[in-house]
Chain A
Amino acid sequence: MNFPIRVLVAKPGLDGHDRGAKIIARALRDAGMEVIYTGLRQSPEMIVNAALQEDVQVIGLSILSGAHNAIVPRVMELLREKDMTDVMVVVGGIIPDEDAAELKTLGVAEVFQPGASLDKIVEFIRASVKQAA
């Protein structure tokens, strides 16, 4: 299949530190994916609606503020409600190991902690989306 992978990069919560989200958005774009960046302060509802409208295969959430335990479960719940469980969710940011494990039990495909390489993130998304296709 030749269609590029479509990814929504989103920055939920009140935090404005978007260096990581923007770098990831550009790296995925440079890797040939179609990237929609939501901008700052998106609620879980806004993110899931954007994912639906943009028909993406992947949602990437960037969270550095420690609010992931409030935000990510809500996103997963909304995806289930809207029957969008085929959309893969990855999370990047300052996520402690225990929380990362917990998020994965909720259906998050992968959690990228600080220092994760851009290549690994790109590879992971490519491999996972191919597998699903």
Chain B
Amino acid sequence: MAENNALHTPATTLGGIPLKPFYSPDDVAEMPFTAPGEFPYTRGIHPAMYRKRLWTMRQFSGFSTPEETNERYRYLLEQGQTGLSVAFDLPTLMGYDADAPEAEGEVGKCGVSISSLEDMEALFRCIPLGDVSVSMTINSPAAVIWAMYLAVAERQGVAPSSLSGTLQNDILKEYIAQKEFIFPPRPSMRLVTDVIEYATRHTPKYNPISISGYHIREAGSTAVQELAFTLRDGVEYVDWAVERGLLIDEFAPRLSFFFNAHNDFFEEIAKYRAARTIWARIMRDRYGARDERSLKLRFHAQTAGCSLTWQQPVNNVVRTAVQALAAVMGGTQSLHTNSLDEAYALPGEHAVTIALRTQQILAYETGITETPDPFGGSYFVEKLTADIAEAARTYIDRIDGMGGMLPAIERGFPQAEIAEASYRYQAEVNGGERIIVGVNRFQETEEEKLDILEVDESAEARQVAKLGALRNRRDPEQVRRTLERLKKGAEGRGNLMPFLLDSVKSYATVGEIVAVLKRVFGTYSETSVL
């Protein structure tokens, strides 16, 4: 049996970092002691961490029509969830209206369908935007959707200065990993910067970007690649904002990050600790940030969707709990726990409730919230943190050497690194060197059947009908005028947010607005890197 129980040799982390048989004081001899809340914030951004403020429990959700998603949101808020997180469907993410030919078969499938301000009003009906923080996962058309959110808040009588939440608005990781791009990189970066600039001036409590490693990891990267590419993306956004004329300490405090929480418990904890350490130094040394808030990397974490298995799906509850624990040990500010049925479909209400309860059990029953950075001082975790930080810095230096992230993306560098890591991992699974319970070991022949959420196929027809009625009802002359002004704005160099706000308020649709921008900016297609 000994042979069967042996794990992979030589021992490495999931991402391939070599591991010693054990760790000792020699491994940490050179490391200075710092307390939580102290530069470079390796041990957390607050001295008291969760004793002072628990993480936000924020379950990402959205499906079908805005009306149905609104019901789910109100259910989640009743169950004790403390923030909302909007998942949009693929047509919305790609800038197509529900009635576009490209949208056929995809409306409301992977998220909620939003074509116009009318949909956005239905999405947030009876949800006071001044009190509930709202995170929105959208990238290429982020500025358009954010304009709709601002317009809904205005109609609810909520002052922009009291809005809180996060717009993902991270286009670079789309070129690198998730591939939901519309426009070429440079005009896309302009839109991102427009949002950051507008938010800095008008919505001081809103995070205008969530610089995301999550999707890079889901695409198959290692933990080190996730960390390095994400932080280097952060540098790119900061460069553009500074170039725009913003002062570093004006906008940097509202930059937020988003990381994956994967299976390798200690590697993940070390990754979050390394992230804070590197970012604090970049902000201080590269940009001369002075405000402490600019130096502190705040992040949201989500458990790893790609780790969920179709086989024996109830086991996913356990995977998710351990991953969530790693995120908390790593000092996350907010957390999404995946539901056990997500290898099959968007989560059903029962499954999403278990996922939320998992967070509540961690928060209220286990005692882990009492002591910040409990692994601080562990020979192993401190050494692994240093190893990961060093490997990430090497990548960041390489990308600097290529002239930044845009040239690196254009030559396919991060894409190729991720594809290589992803293939290596799958080959290990295929060869049985990497064990996945229920998939390549400990299989069962009888699989339990789950009750899967089915998105009502009539959602598409209902969205199309509603949109048709809106197109007939709105003032066509006003739509034409606002879109014409938007086009002129896009051809110029000024901030597009005011033009987008006017356009969405005239009930111009996502598809119409994106079409105007495509005419000015062009579109992007990639050369696939295998």
Contact = CB atoms under 8 A, between A and B. Distances in A.
Interface of A: 13-19, 22-23, 25-27, 29, 37, 39-40, 65-67, 69-71, 94, 96, 113-115, 117-119
Given A18-B179, A113-B310, A114-B310, A66 B422 contact: no
Contacts of B426: 23, 27, 118
B344 interface: yes
Interface centre among A22, A25, A69 (most CB of B within 10 A): A22
23 contacts: A14-B94, A15-B110, A16-B174, A16-B180, A17-B218, A18-B528, A22-B528, A26-B419, A26-B423, A26-B530, A40-B526, A65-B90, A65-B110, A66-B109, A66-B110, A66-B345, A67-B105, A71-B105, A94-B343, A94-B345, A96-B452, A115-B436, A118-B430
Nearest to B452: A96
Nearest to B179: A16
A115 B309 CA distance: 7
B178 interface: yes
Nearest to A15: B90
A22 B219 CA distance: 10
A82 B83 CA distance: 52
Contact of B439 (A13, A16, A96, A115): A115
Contact of B109 (A17, A67, A114, A118): A67
Given A40-B179, A117-B440, A65 B528 contact: no
A26 B426 CA distance: 11
A115 B311 contact: yes
A69 B105 contact: yes
B455 interface: yes
Contacts of A70: 104-106
B237 interface: no
Contacts of A65: 90, 106, 109-110
Contacts of B344: 94, 96
Contacts of B104: 70
Contact of B91 (A14, A17, A25): A14
Contacts of A37: 528, 530
B526 A66 contact: no
A67 B107 CA distance: 9
A17 B178 contact: yes
B96 interface: yes
B234 interface: no
Contacts of B423: 22-23, 26-27
A122 to B, nearest CB: 10
Contacts of B96: 14
Contacts of A69: 105
B94 to A, nearest CB: 5
B526 A19 contact: no
A16 B173 CA distance: 12
Contacts of B105: 13, 67, 69-71
Interface string B141-170: 000000000000000000000000000000
A78 B104 CA distance: 17
A14 B106 contact: yes
Interface in B58-112: 90-91, 93-94, 96, 102-106, 109-110
A41 B526 CA distance: 11
A29 B528 CA distance: 15
B331 interface: no
B220 interface: yes
A39 B181 CA distance: 13
Given A114-B343, A115-B439, A118-B426, 20 more contacts: A14-B90, A14-B96, A14-B103, A14-B106, A15-B90, A16-B174, A16-B179, A19-B306, A22-B528, A26-B530, A27-B423, A39-B525, A40-B179, A65-B110, A67-B106, A67-B109, A71-B105, A114-B310, A115-B436, A118-B430
Contacts of B530: 22, 25-26, 29, 37
Contacts of A71: 105
B220 A19 contact: yes
Contacts of B181: 16
A113 B344 CA distance: 9
B180 A19 contact: no
Nearest to B449: A97
B179 A17 contact: yes
A94 B419 CA distance: 21
Interface string B295-311: 00000000000100111
Contacts of B422: 19, 22-23
A16 B524 CA distance: 13
Contacts of B452: 96
Nearest to B439: A115
A103 to B, nearest CB: 14
Given A37-B528, A96-B344, A118-B426, A22 B309 contact: no
Q: Which of A23, A29, A65 has the most CB of B within 10 A?
A: A23
Nearest to B309: A115
Nearest to A118: B430
Interface string B458-499: 000000000000000000000000000000000000000000
A119 B426 CA distance: 11
Contacts of A26: 419, 423, 530
Nearest to B455: A66
The 10 closest A-B pairs by CB, nearest first: A70-B105, A16-B179, A114-B310, A14-B90, A66-B109, A67-B105, A39-B528, A118-B430, A115-B439, A67-B106
A119 B345 contact: no
Nearest to B305: A17
Contacts of B110: 15, 65-66
B17 to A, nearest CB: 22
A19 B218 contact: yes
A24 to B, nearest CB: 9
Contacts of A29: 530
